[in-house]
Amino acid sequence: MKHALVVGSTGVIGGAIARRLARAGDWRVTCATRGGSAPAGAQGLAVDLLDPASVRSAAAALAPVTHVFYAAYQHRPTRTEEVAPNLAMLRHAIDLGEAQPGALQRFVLVTGGKYYGLQWGAIKTPARETDPRHLGPNFYYAQQDHLAERAAAAGWTWSHLIPPYVTGFSERAPMNLVMAIGVLATLSREQGLPLRFPGPAASWNALHHLADADQIAAAAAWCATGATAANEIFNIANGDPGRWRNSWPVVAGHFDLATGEPMPVPLTQVAAELAPLWRRIAEREDLRQPDLHALVDWQWADYMFKTAFSNDVLFELGKIRRAGFGGCLDSEAALLGRFEELRQQRLIPRSR
Q: Which residues does residue 165 pair with via DSSP β-bridges, in sequence order?
A: 210
What angle separates helix 177-190 from helix 267-285, to the nearest 10 degrees?
A: 70
- Taking residues 269-280, report their average pLDDT: 98
Whether the CB-CB separation of 257 and 188 falls below 8 Å is answered with yes
- Give me the mean pLDDT over the 266-293 stretch: 97
pLDDT in tens, 290-300: 999 999 999 99
Q: What is the pTM of this model?
A: 0.96
Q: What is the enclosing helix (H) or strand (E) of 83?
A: helix 79-97
Q: Which amino acid is at 270?
A: V
pLDDT band at 169 (very low <50, low <70, confident <90, very high): confident
Cα distance between residue 260 and residue 204, in whole Å: 12
- Judged against a pLDDT cut of 80, whether residue 351 lies above it is answered with no
Query: Residue 9: which of 42, 52, 48 has the closest Cα?
Result: 42
Q: What is the CATH number of domain 2-162?
A: 3.40.50.720
Confidence of residue 237 (pLDDT cuts 50, 70, 90): very high
Q: What is the DSSP letter of 316?
A: -
Q: How far apart are CA 334 and CA 214, in angstroms?
A: 9
Specify whether the CB–CB gap between 311 and 202 falls below 8 A: yes
Can you give the residue ranges of every domain in the chain? 2-162, 174-208+241-311+329-344
What was the pLDDT predicted at 182? 97
The pLDDT of residue 352 is 64
Average pLDDT over residues 152-170: 96
- Residue 42's contacts (CB-CB under 8 Å, 6 or more residues apart) are 6, 9, 18, 21, 22, 29, 30, 31
Res 312: pLDDT:
97
The Cα–Cα gap between 108 and 215 comes to: 15
What's the number of CA atoms in the CB half-sphere (13 Å) around residue 327? 20
Give the closest residue to 213 by CA, choosing from 69, 334, 72, 96: 334
Cβ neighbours, 10 Å, residue 179: 27
**How confident is the model over 33-82, as pLDDT tens digits?**
999 999 999 999 999 999 999 999 999 999 999 999 999 999 999 999 99
| DSSP, res 195 | B
Please determine, for residue 210, whether its predicted confidence score (pLDDT) is greater than 90: yes
Average pLDDT, the chain: 96
Distance CA(335)–CA(352), nearest Å, equals: 19
